[in-house]
Structure formats: C-alpha cells, structure tokens
Structure 1
Amino acid sequence: MSDSFAVAAVTDTLRAILQGAVGRQVPGAVVTARPPDEVTADRPAAALNVFLYRASVDGSWRNLDPVGTRPGETGRPALPLVLHYVLTPYASGDSQESTAHRILGAAMVALHDHAELGPEEIRRAAPFSDLHLQSEPVRITPVNVSTDDISKLWSAFQSQYRTSVAYEARIVLINSSLPGRAPLPVLSRGDQDRGPEAAASTAGPLPTLTAAVPETVRPGGKLTVTGTRFDGGEVLLRLTHPLLGGLEDRPALEVDATEARFKLPKDLAAGNWSAAVVLTAADGTQQATRALQVGVAPRLAEPLPLTAELGADGSARLEVRCAPPVHPGQRVQLIVGERPLDPEDAFANTTDRLRFRWPDARQGRHRLRLRVDDVESLPAVDAAGRPEFPTDAAVVVA
C-alpha cells in the first residue's frame, strides 16, 4: 500500500514516460498536466496534456482485509482508487493537425508498451511517494468513451473539442489514516500447548515435506522438518525469500527417514521464507519437495526498555534497534501495547535503526513487539520452559 501522495505519483510517472516517448518523435514537444481550457488558452507549439478528470473507488477491493492483518486484529482496509485520464495533443502552425496526430500516436504506443508502471519508473519520477513499494502493480488500460460521454466531458472542460484518448490507472491502494488494533497473541493453547495430530498412511516414491517445526524461528536457530523418503540421498535445506532471493543449500545436522534437523544462518533476514528439502542421489540427480512457509522472527535489540517524552502535540517519537537488519521493501511495524505503528521515514537501504511516531501517546509503561513482513518477535522462555512476554521489551513514556 502507499501514502496519500500516490495520486500525484501516478500522474508524474505517466508524464515522465510520455515525455520520453513524445520528445523522441516530435522534438520540442512537452507533456503537461493542466485543465484543457488552460492549455488551449496558451496555444502551445507542440504539447501533450495528461489530465486527471476523475478518480473513482474500486468496490471489489473495499471488501478485502487490510494487508498484514492477522485473525483477531482490526484495521481499516486501504482506499482503492482508479484514476481516469484523458490525453490530448496540441499543436500550432500550418501542419498542426499532422503534428498533433504524431504526438497522439507516440503517446499511445508508449502506454501500450507500459501496460504496468514499474517500481523503478515510479521511484525515479516520484521520489516523494512510496507508491513504488505497493505490492499490487498499477496497470494502465485504454478506455473506450462513447460519443455522448465525450460531449459531456468537453462541455464540462469548457473547451473546444480536440481528438483525445482516455486511460485508467488501476489499482492505487492508499493506507488508511485510522490506527489498527493488534491484541497480544495467545502464548499457549491447553496443557503443554498440544495441538491436533494427524498421521498419514500413504507414502509415495518421491520425498515429501509435511511440516516444519517451529513455524517461527530466530536467526541462527534450529529447524526440524518432517516428511518421507529422507533416506534417499544427501538431505539439503533450500531457503528462498520473495524479496531477497535464495540462499545456498544447507546440509542437515541429523537425518533419518522421516525427520531432518538444520541450523539456520545467524544473519538470516527476518520475514517469511519458503523452505524445501532437496535430496541429492548418488548419481547426482536432485529431487525437491514442495515448499513450506517458515517465519524468521525479528528481535528488538538493546538498549531496552526505551524511554520517550510526551510532546506538546500529544505524540511520542520512538527509535528502536532491530536484529537482524531490515531490507528496503519489507513491511515493518512496531506494536506499542495494542497500537501498530508504521515507520516515520521510509528506508532506502538496509538498516537496523527504525524511527516511529506514536500519535495520541499515553504516559506509562507499554509492551513492545516488532513485526517484519507479518512475522512478530518471539516471546521469551522462563526457567520452566514456559513462554512469557519479556519485561524489558517495553517503552516508558514520561
């Protein structure tokens, strides 16, 4: 999702793409974003005007849950916008219509080749917005406008009709400004936290992966996977991250036919990883199982607990250190009590320092949790092996 500057970011990105295409075909032509009547009054020598004449809400996207919200948590869904543009060429002189048609053709070819606005294109054209971090692409689609609608549009523009084409940009997701609520999770379920057990009675000829324990692990921790046919060759663990890519396959510490244990790298990035088992036979052939999702938990680093001052506007600013560092493109939240907070500044480089602003902060001591790509920091374990919330993972607001 993105911020409220996303509408301007789409317009600026379209202008940048069209300026490059139109400028090559018609030297000296400029791309503007003004109301059509103002462009007509200036009588430009050669120009293409990109005018946002309508913004609508996509009803189907309004029914989706907010990104990153877990069961039991609440939050407002993103505002899903569809932006409607009209592109109009302008020219003056003896060959004005021919020049205008060349401009229009170049613009339509450019948008035909840019059916989606790429993240790098958006970042270069609109560095003031974080639209380039939106997971859903912004697609540019031509729209057929009826003669009746064209007449109504240009009457509303209060300008003489010119040949033009219409496009829509879908979908632009803007974060809600209302805070969500993330209650503390349940640490154990029943006696010794025993869950349902199921046993399979069929086993095929190929290796299978059925479970990974624990589902969330710390960097450098041990991961146990269960399945079948692990005795068919050398057992390796293959880890893949949707943003960071894959790592070198890791050998197992212990292996039997149905279980293998691995030690994870200490510098493994937090977030959701895909874990698959790869078996290498004596002849060098490899067979890989299906992948399971494994969460790698972040950790709030020292010094803890944090201290913060309540500002005159009722807000507090918190700066935390995290381990491992987070990478650009990862979604990070600091949960203060039951209040999720997004970073105050977007980070363009890998960092272990994050700053947050807590509006309507309250004095007192509040528990802290760190969430990276929907994976939360893990609770501590007491001397008896029971999970507990760490006492130092907190902020004291004075």
Structure 2
Amino acid sequence: MSDSFAVAAVTDTLRAILQGEVGRQVPGAVVTARPPDEVTADRPSSALNVFLYRASVDASWRNLDPVGTRPGETGRPALPLVLHYVLTPYASGDAQESTAHRILGAAMVALHDHAELGPEEIRRAAPFSDLHLQPESVRITPVNVSTDDISKLWTAFQSQYRISVAYEARTVLIDSSRPARVPLPVLARGDQDRGPAAAANTAGLLPTLTAVVPEIVRPGGKLTVTGTRFEGRDALLRLTHPLLGGPVDRPAQEADATEATFELPEDLAAGIWSAAVVLTAADGTQQATRALQVGVAPRLTEPLPLTAELGADGSARLEVRCAPPLHPGQRVQLIVGNRPLDPEGAVADTTDRLRFRWRDARPGRHTLRLRVDDVESLPAVGAAGRPEFPTDAAVVVA
C-alpha cells in the first residue's frame, strides 16, 4: 500500500515524465503544477501546466476486503483514489499557438508511452513516498471531457480558456492509519484435537502426492508425505521457493508404497516452499508428483524475553533476532500481542536482526510471534505434549 504522500508522488512523477519528453521536443519548455489562474503571472515563455483539479474514490476498490489480511484478522481497507488532472500548454511570442500545440503533442505522446507509472520512475521522482511499493500499478488514462464540462471547468478556474487535455491516474491506494488486529491462533480443536477426516481412492497409474505432514515445520524438522505408487523407486523430496529458487533435494529416510519421511536442512529459509516427490526407477527414469505447499516456520532467538522502554511519544522500539536468517525481498512482521508491526525498512540484505517501532505501545508483558511470508513461528510443546505459547517469547514494556 501507500502512505498519505502518494498524491504528491503521482503529481511529481507525472511532472518528471512530462519534463523529460517536453523538454526534449521543445527546448526550454518547463513543466509546472500550479492553479491555472496563477500560471500567467511569472511563467516561463514555454510551459506545460499539470493541475490536479479533482480527487475521487474508486468504488470498486472501496468494496474489496483489506489487502494483506488473513482469515480471522480485521483491518480497515485502503483509501482508493482516482486523481484527475488537466494539462494546459502555454507559449509566448509570434508563434505562440504553434509552440503551445507542439508542447501539447509532446505531453500526450509522453503519457501515451507511460500509460503505467513504473516503480523505479516513482521512486526516482518521489523518494519521500512509498508509492513505488504499492502492489497495484497506477495507470494514466486520457479522459474525454465535453465542451460544456470544459467550459465549466475553466469558469471555475477564473482564467481565460486555453486548449487542454484531461487525464486520470487510477488507482492510488492509501493505507488506513488505524492498526489491524491479529488474534492468537487456535492451538487445539476439541478434547483430542481432531479435525474433519475424509478418504477416497485416488490411486492411478502415476505416482501421486496427497498430503504433507505437518503443513508447517521448523528447519531441520521431519516431513512425512503420503501418496500412491511410491514402491520400487528411490524417493527424493524436491523443495522450491518462488523467491529463493532452488531446488533443494533431500533423500528419503524411510519410504514405502504410500509414505515417505524426509529430514529438512537446518539452514532452510523460512517461508512458503513447494514440495514434490521425485521418484527414480531402476532404469534411471524419473517421475515427479504434483507439488504441495509446506511452510517453514521462523523462530525468535536469544535474548528473550525482550525488554523495551516506553518513550515520551508513547512508542517503543524493539530489536529481535531470528533464525533462519531472512533473505532480500522476504516479507516479515512481528506480532506483539494482537498488533502486527512492520519492520523499519524492507529486508534488503540477508540478516537475522530486525528492528521495529511499536506506536501506541502499552505497558506490560506481551506475547511475540514472528511472521515471514505468511508463515508464523510455531508454538512450543508443553510438558503434556500439547502446544503452548513459549513463556520467553514475549516483550516486557515498562
């Protein structure tokens, strides 16, 4: 999503794109962003004015669920804005109309070739905003405005009419300032922790992979896969990651016709991996099953529990260490009680150290969980063999 500076970021990016093309086509031309009634006062001899005259709400995005929330979590949807611009050329001298038309043509070609604002263009033109991190692209589209509407528009500007073109920038998603709520997960379902069970005979001619147990595992843990037609073949677990690549191959420790057990590497990165079983026959031919997802859980490392001091502004700064280390591009959140916190800056290098700022922090002891690419740190196993939240995975705010 984007911050509240995204509106200014769109305007500055448009100015940068238009300045590059208009300045090349009409040397000396300058792109401004001023109200039309103020342009003629001290404008350059050749200029293109970009004026944001209206901002509206995108109704289709307004009705969508909040982006980035999972089932059971609550959050406010983003504010989806459509920005409406009017572009007006100005020129002076004997050939002012010809020069103005050249400026207008160069501007329209520039926006035709930049129908979508690229993240790198936004980052260069507006480093003060995080609009370049928005998952939805900002698209620039020409708008047909009737003669009656354009006349009303210039009347409202209280300025003499000049030839103009209108564009809209859609959609700018601005984050809500209200924090989301992330409840603690359910650790057991019923007295014996039994969920629904179903069985069907799906055996066919080819090997199949039907389940991966557990669905979330720690690095170095054991993974059991079930399926059909594993017999008479060497079983290999092949793990791939959409960001880190792969493959990571692990031989089976135990295997029979319908089940195989594998041990994961200790340094396997946290996140969502795709797991497939590769079976090698005696003649060397290989067959791979379909892939299923398996989550590799991160964990918080020493020193725990954390201690944090409540600042004068009501915030607390937290620094945690994790294992395995995070890799560039991975998404991470620290969940303090029921409040998700984003790190101070994206993960740019491989690191096991993260810093967070908890605004509106509350004194007391709060449970800590680490989420990497939608996979949370696992609870501990208690004395009775039941899961429980680790007592040291917490922060004490004083």
Partner of 1:199: 199
C-alpha distance in 1, partners of 2:283/2:55?
A: 61
- In structure 2, what residue type is equivalent to 1:63? N
Partner of 2:41: 41
8 Å CA contact 1:46, 1:100 repeated in 2? yes
8 Å CA contact 1:308, 1:395 repeated in 2? yes
- In structure 1, what residue type is equivalent to 2:249? R
C-alpha distance in 2, partners of 1:91/1:220?
A: 70
| In the alignment, structure 1 residue 306 sits paired with structure 2 residue 306 | yes
Partner of 2:103: 103
Unaligned 5+ runs, structure 1: none
Deviations 1:272-311 (A, max 9, x none): 3333445567787765544433222222221111111122
Deviations 1:238-262 (A, max 9, x none): 44444x2521241432444433444
Which residues in structure 2 correspond to 1:109-258 (within 5 Å)? 109-230=109-230, 235-242=235-242, 244-253=243-252, 254-258=254-258
* CA 226–6 in structure 1, closer or farther in 2 if over 3 Å, else same: farther
8 Å CA contact 1:133, 1:329 repeated in 2? no
- In structure 2, what residue type is equivalent to 1:90? Y
Partner of 1:27: 27
Deviations 1:319-372 (A, max 9, x none): 222233334544332221122223344554444332222233222211111222
Partner of 1:382: 382
RMSD: 2.6
- In structure 2, what residue type is equivalent to 1:179? P
TM-score w.r.t. length of structure 1: 0.89
* CA 125–43 in structure 1, closer or farther in 2 if over 3 Å, else same: closer
Deviations 1:53-72 (A, max 9, x none): 21111122222222232222
1:206: Cα distance to partner? 3.9
Partner of 2:74: 74
8 Å CA contact 1:236, 1:249 repeated in 2? no
1:232: Cα distance to partner? 8.4
| In the alignment, structure 1 residue 338 sits paired with structure 2 residue 310 | no
Q: Name which one, 1 or 2, has greater alpha-carbon Rg.
A: 2
1:6: Cα distance to partner? 1.6
SS of structure 2 residue aligned to 1:294: strand
C-alpha distance in 2, partners of 1:354/1:59?
A: 38
TM-score w.r.t. length of structure 2: 0.89
Partner of 1:367: 367
C-alpha distance in 1, partners of 2:302/2:271?
A: 20
1:184: Cα distance to partner? 1.1
8 Å CA contact 1:141, 1:169 repeated in 2? yes
1:36: Cα distance to partner? 2.1
Deviations 1:87-123 (A, max 9, x none): 2222222222222222222222222222222222222
C-alpha distance in 2, partners of 1:29/1:119?
A: 26
SS of structure 1 residue aligned to 2:139: strand
Q: How many residues align?
A: 397
C-alpha distance in 2, partners of 1:279/1:139?
A: 47
C-alpha distance in 2, partners of 1:76/1:67?
A: 9
* CA 177–234 in structure 1, closer or farther in 2 if over 3 Å, else same: same
C-alpha distance in 1, partners of 2:109/2:119?
A: 20
- In structure 1, what residue type is equivalent to 2:162? R
- In structure 1, what residue type is equivalent to 2:203? A
SS of structure 2 residue aligned to 1:107: helix
8 Å CA contact 1:332, 1:342 repeated in 2? yes
C-alpha distance in 1, partners of 2:231/2:115?
A: 49
* CA 367–151 in structure 1, closer or farther in 2 if over 3 Å, else same: same
8 Å CA contact 1:328, 1:347 repeated in 2? yes
8 Å CA contact 1:238, 1:275 repeated in 2? yes
8 Å CA contact 1:209, 1:225 repeated in 2? yes
Aligned-pair identity in percent equals 88
SS of structure 2 residue aligned to 1:250: strand
* CA 325–108 in structure 1, closer or farther in 2 if over 3 Å, else same: farther
Partner of 1:86: 86
C-alpha distance in 2, partners of 1:107/1:236?
A: 58
C-alpha distance in 1, partners of 2:44/2:185?
A: 62
C-alpha distance in 2, partners of 1:12/1:237?
A: 50
SS of structure 1 residue aligned to 2:34: coil
C-alpha distance in 2, partners of 1:155/1:283?
A: 83
- In structure 1, what residue type is equivalent to 2:141? T
